[in-house]
Amino acid sequence: MISPFRTGIVPVLTYHSQNIAGNDYASNDQHALASDIQTIIDSGMRVLNLSDLVDWITGKRPARFARNGIILTCDDAPKFDYEGVVYRDFGLQTSFRSIIQRHDAHITCFAIASPKARAEIGEDALGDAELMTDAWWPDADKARWASIENHGWDHCHPAVSEPVGDSRSFLGVADYATCRQQVQLAADSIAAVTGRRPTLFAYPFGESSAYLRNSYLPDFENEHGMQAAVSTDAGYATRDSNRWNIPRFICGRDWHSPDGFRAILDHAKRSW
């Protein structure tokens, strides 16, 4: 007999709108997302909000709630998420917003809090600090298509000149004071921009120290206010997932083509 508590599995997908090295599926996450959303709809699956998935994992939603669900997320919150930009030699790039809104779907955007860190990352990685502006966050967070959530204070990105706690990786974010800056104060700072405090965290580069994951996040929930954290371990979310380490598939790393994407979806669909 099948246990009444057994439920299906849910893919949480991650895109980077700044992944623009060409203008086709394999070289450009905007093209991949546009194709993938159509595949999701054609396959009879549904886009759910990450916050609702967390409610499902914590038992606040019925077991069948996440049936045939998939979750869309994107990291770093560059301007490509929000509006069309002419970029380098690749011409006008459409925005994640236009793709998501066309299908009345939803995506969770994980944003970097520190304005200084964002400017340095934008300059270094994208050639323009303005591409990491927070000017669009309030509009996006109030709209149906997006939520602006927490991707840390400074991402421990190599371009950042003065990383918190002098750590060059989130593996080194491993004491209370550094975690507080990277999680709680980052959330405060994002809230000051959007008008709503984030409740979801994405580990930068998918990395987390054991202290952050197993002690700080679960033990100081009343202080930082996060309800869950996502990693980049390739795998499906389940009702039994650790809500402080929910796995995610990454476009370009875990799938590279419409066929590869369909395989991830089909496996999830068969589980229900």
Least separation in angstroms between CB 271 and Zn ion: 29
Q: Which stretch binds Zn ion (CB under 5 A): 5-13, 44-52, 203-211, 261-269?
A: 203-211
Applying CB under 5 A, the site for Zn ion has a residue count of 3
| Cα dist from 272 to 50, 69, 117, 216, 269, whole Å | 19, 10, 43, 34, 6
How far is residue 115 CA from its own chain's centroid? 19
Candidate list 29, 76, 81, 149; residue touching Zn ion; CB under 5 A? 76
Candidate list 29, 75, 134, 149; residue touching Zn ion; CB under 5 A? 75
Which residue, 76 or 141, is less far from Zn ion as judged by CB?
76
Local structure of 249: helix, strand or coil: strand
Q: Interface with Zn ion includes 154 (CB under 5 A)? A: no
Helices (H), 66-197: 96-102, 115-121, 137-142, 176-179, 186-194
Least separation in angstroms between CB 153 and Zn ion: 12
Q: Which stretch binds Zn ion (CB under 5 A): 42-50, 173-181, 183-191, 196-204?
A: 196-204
Which residue, 36 or 75, is less far from Zn ion as judged by CB?
75
Contacts of 153 (CB under 8 A, 6+ apart): 112, 113, 114, 117, 164, 181, 182, 185, 186, 189
| Chain positions contacting Zn ion, by CB under 5 A | 75-76, 204
